[in-house]
Amino acid sequence: MKLIQVLKSTSLLCLFLSFSLPASADTVPASDTVVLGMGCFWGAEKRMSEIPGVIKTEVGYAGGTSASPTYESVSKEGHSNKPATHAEALKVTYDSRVTTLDKVLAAFWQNHNPTQGNRQGNDVGSNYRSAIFYNSASQQKAALQTRDIYQQALSKAGLGNITTEITPLKAFYPAESYHQQYLKKNPNGYCGLGGTGVAFPGNSLAAPIAVAPLDGKKLSTQQLVVFESEVCNFCKAFEKDIMSQWKSDVGIAKTYATKAPAGWALKEDLWATPTIVLFENGKEAARYTGYDGNKQRFWRWLGVKTLTAEQRKIAFEKGTELPFTGSNLDNHAAGYYVDPVSGERLFRSDKKFNSGTGWPSFFDPLPGALVLKEDTSHGARRTEVLSASSGIHLGHVFDDGPPPTGKRYCINSAVLKFVPDKKDKTI
């Protein structure tokens, strides 16, 4: 009898403990998810995955009517601003023991520009709209409250109204596998995401810096502007290959801004980085979009846009100027003859001699300045001379020159720019 009473008491105690003791850490919900639209989902994923407490991200599509969206279909519909287009979206899973939804949303607001409607930076279309797709009443409340807080900060900074769509999540469609963690797998990929530069009040994470357009009054009448982005290894390659060695007469400047220099005008929106735009008198004259490491392709583009018709015929069509007509034929001043496109030095004046042929002639180029190529055009077998930097045609080289090389580099005057020594007084 006593044993039965003991067992009953023990059972009651176990039952009481099961209701009164706090749940173990394993039973407490440790994560939650929210779906966000911030423009290009590659950049959104990179930015949000770096937020403390975010444990998983997945890119996809949300907010549209199609039951089988693909990157191609969403992009096509978005570029035409078709109604009910899916937005490029990001599902963010965060550890609720480390961070809160409010903190995740604070990072969301300040890591993109929520005032642009159907675009984000250089990316234009309804698929790039700003959006919060909530899955509960508490998420909706947090979205609206943080929106109002950030709007006050934006208004104080002189910026416009938030256009972010705040709507229930109907479905989230994961994007194709190659889009997942794209910028980790493809560090050279383009990311057009940028913020307003306005921090979310009370948020400890630094806001991305917003960059003002260049001042057009401080630039040249003929000016190249390189439009870059923060996450852009192609931009770094262009900087290393081209800009770091810049010697061309055409001015060049770079910016993270997505707008033309103040007072100047672009013909159309930018959509990739780097984009190199040639401005003439404050107006876009030409643009070169992207950079794949092909230096001579870039220089050819610049040469086509900046050289005269006579120079282009020689540089790109292997033309030849009439003998005894070139402006550099009888030049005897001290200095360097340089590539008219890249500005790189080709010949020194003390290596020039009078060959009597009617073209400027040199017996020795500067080291590494030229590339020689077999030329069998016009029924003859000759050696063509190209500029190593820009790849433009300069002339030909023959074996009837003076000592010590015995070479005669016969060069068209029109594709030589002379730069006199500063101490030279004859020019």
- DSSP letters, 259-298, are SPSBT-B-SS---SSSEEEEEETTEEEEEEE---S-HHHH
pLDDT-derived band at 193, boundaries 50, 70, 90: low
d(CA 104, CA 47): 11
CB 411 within 8 A of CB 357: no
pLDDT at 7: 36
Burial of 42 (0-12, 13-18, 19+ CB in 10 A): buried
Q: In 171-256, at which residue ranges do the beta strands (DSSP E only) sit?
A: 172-174, 222-227, 251-255
Residue 239 in this model has a pLDDT that exceeds 50: yes
Burial of 374 (0-12, 13-18, 19+ CB in 10 A): exposed
Q: What is the mean pLDDT of residues 169-174?
A: 96
Residue 194 in this model has a pLDDT that exceeds 80: no
pLDDT at 336: 98
Number of neighbours of residue 37 by Cβ within 10 angstroms: 27
Q: What is the mean pLDDT of residues 225-245?
A: 88
Task: Write the CA distances from 257 to 32, 122, 164, integer angstroms.
Answer: 35, 10, 22
Q: Considering the candidates 14, 40, 235, 410, report the single residue annotated as catalytic.
A: 40
The interaxial angle of helices 295-306 and 309-317, nearest 10 deg, is 150
Residue 221 in this model has a pLDDT that exceeds 90: yes
**pLDDT tens, position by position, 24-70:** 444 445 899 999 999 989 889 988 998 999 999 999 999 999 999 99
CB 128 within 8 A of CB 119: yes
pLDDT at 258: 79
Number of neighbours of residue 211 by Cβ within 10 angstroms: 15
**pLDDT tens, position by position, 333-382:** 999 999 999 999 999 999 999 999 999 999 999 999 999 999 988 788 99
pLDDT-derived band at 16, boundaries 50, 70, 90: very low
- What is the Rg, in whole angstroms, of the alpha carbon atoms belonging to the chain? 32
Q: What is the mean pLDDT of residues 67-94?
A: 91
**pLDDT tens, position by position, 273-305:** 889 999 999 999 999 998 989 999 999 999 999
40 catalytic residue (yes or no): yes
The pTM of the full predicted model, rounded to 2 decimals, is 0.66
Q: 355: closest CA among 322, 324, 391? A: 324
CB 311 within 8 A of CB 415: yes
pLDDT-derived band at 120, boundaries 50, 70, 90: confident
